[in-house]
């Protein structure tokens, strides 16, 4: 398809012929395919009267876009694609990717899930922790039967608190008084019966002595401020020049109305 002036597309061999030459996605059933291709063809309607290109010498067919037909087509396509997406019965768990925290501070590790079923009363959350460099993970938190069970023997005893809301599908925990030994990967696993198939999600905790400055932030800030000041100074300079010129001009005009000769004299000085 080549674009000519005025937004008119002259069609090649692909879209002009009838719908059977149009090939859409193979996952679409054939009846729907026929309807869609007909709609596509009707959208790019053949309308010579409205858009006649004056300089067209060749007899190629010009096709133009029809607005509301486009909208109908897009709606139908999106509905078809949504319907053809397989409804997976698995649960999808969301945690963060990485969490940065300072030594001695508290950090909240959030975990929530998406499930096609309503939140049941037997929903369970469990958190496990794998230190950096270790191969095994230990379980540090479990919520089941409506009650949370926190770690009382492991590395997080007395430092773990459940701050989530299972009714709202939130299984977040709060780690208090962090130390360098808490660097590691925390994995959240949630189950919402009968939706129990799903992958658990992990968040990495990084504990810093002081928060590192990202590379380039200060550089960019300094450069931006200095260049901005430069532009500001130049703008003010030109503005002052413009204002001074204007004030002189208005002064001479008012004096001209009152006294006449003095105004013209003042104009001569400046």
Partner 1 sequence: MLVVLVGVMILHLLDLILLIISTALNAWLVDGDLSTDLWYGCTSKNGGYHCKQSISEDWLQAVQALMVLSVLFCLLSFVFFLCQLFTLVKGGRFYFTAIFQILASLFVMSGAIIYTVMNNGPESSSYGHAYVLAWVAFPLSLVSGLIYIVLRKKE
Residue ranges that bind partner 1, judged by CB under 8 A: 212-223, 226-227
Smallest separation (angstroms) from partner 1 to the CB of 212: 6
Q: Which is nearer to partner 1, 167 or 217 (CB)?
A: 217
**Strands 198-199 and 91-95, how do they pair?**
parallel
Which residues touch 229 (CB under 8 Å, ≥6 apart)? none
Concatenated DSSP letters of 74-135 = HHHHHHHHHHHS-----EEEEE-SEEEEETT--EEE-EEEE-SSPPPTT-EEEEEEEETT-S
Centre a 10 Å sphere on the Cβ of residue 51 and count the other Cβ atoms it contains: 15
Smallest separation (angstroms) from partner 1 to the CB of 233: 10
- Strand, helix or coil for residue 194: coil
Q: Which is nearer to partner 1, 17 or 228 (CB)?
A: 228
Positive or negative torsion for Cα 202, 205, 206, 212: positive
Q: Which is nearer to partner 1, 221 or 244 (CB)?
A: 221
Smallest separation (angstroms) from partner 1 to the CB of 113: 36
Q: Which is nearer to partner 1, 14 or 221 (CB)?
A: 221
Q: Which is nearer to partner 1, 83 or 215 (CB)?
A: 215
| Short-list 72, 69, 115, 68, CA closest to 90 | 115
Smallest separation (angstroms) from partner 1 to the CB of 239: 18
Smallest separation (angstroms) from partner 1 to the CB of 209: 13
Calpha distance 36→73 (Å, rounded)? 8
Smallest separation (angstroms) from partner 1 to the CB of 221: 8
| Short-list 85, 72, 179, 175, CA closest to 132 | 179
Smallest separation (angstroms) from partner 1 to the CB of 241: 14
Centre a 10 Å sphere on the Cβ of residue 161 and count the other Cβ atoms it contains: 16
Q: Which is nearer to partner 1, 163 or 221 (CB)?
A: 221
Q: Which is nearer to partner 1, 12 or 224 (CB)?
A: 224
Which residues touch 132 (CB under 8 Å, ≥6 apart)? 183, 184, 185
Smallest separation (angstroms) from partner 1 to the CB of 102: 17
Q: Which is nearer to partner 1, 26 or 220 (CB)?
A: 220
68 token code pair: 């509301």
């Amino acid at each position: 398809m080549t674009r000519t002036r005025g937004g008119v597309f002259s069609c090649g061999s692909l879209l002009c012929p009838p719908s059977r030459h149009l090939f859409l996605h193979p996952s679409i059933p054939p009846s729907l395919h026929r309807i869609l291709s007909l709609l596509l063809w009707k959208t790019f309607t053949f309308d010579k009267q409205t858009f006649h290109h004056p300089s067209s010498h060749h007899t190629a067919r010009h096709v133009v876009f029809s607005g509301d037909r486009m909208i109908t087509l897009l709606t139908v396509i999106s509905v078809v694609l949504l319907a053809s997406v397989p409804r997976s019965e698995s649960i999808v768990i969301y945690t963060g990717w990485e969490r940065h925290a300072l030594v001695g501070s508290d950090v909240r590790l959030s975990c929530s899930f998406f499930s096609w079923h309503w939140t049941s009363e037997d929903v369970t959350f469990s958190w496990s922790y794998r230190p950096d460099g270790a191969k095994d993970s230990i379980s540090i938190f479990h919520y089941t039967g409506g009650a949370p069970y926190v770690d009382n023997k492991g590395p997080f005893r007395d430092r773990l608190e459940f701050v989530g809301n299972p009714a709202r599908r939130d299984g977040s925990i709060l780690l208090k008084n962090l130390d360098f030994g808490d660097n590691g990967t925390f994995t959240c696993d949630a189950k919402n019966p009968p939706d129990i198939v799903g992958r658990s999600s992990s968040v990495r905790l990084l504990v810093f002595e002081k928060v590192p400055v990202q590379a380039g932030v200060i550089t960019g800030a300094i450069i931006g401020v200095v260049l901005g000041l430069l532009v500001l100074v130049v703008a003010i300079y030109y503005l002052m020049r413009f204002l001074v010129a204007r004030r002189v001009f208005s002064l001479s005009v008012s004096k001209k109305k009152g006294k006449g000769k003095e105004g013209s004299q003042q104009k001569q000085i400046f």
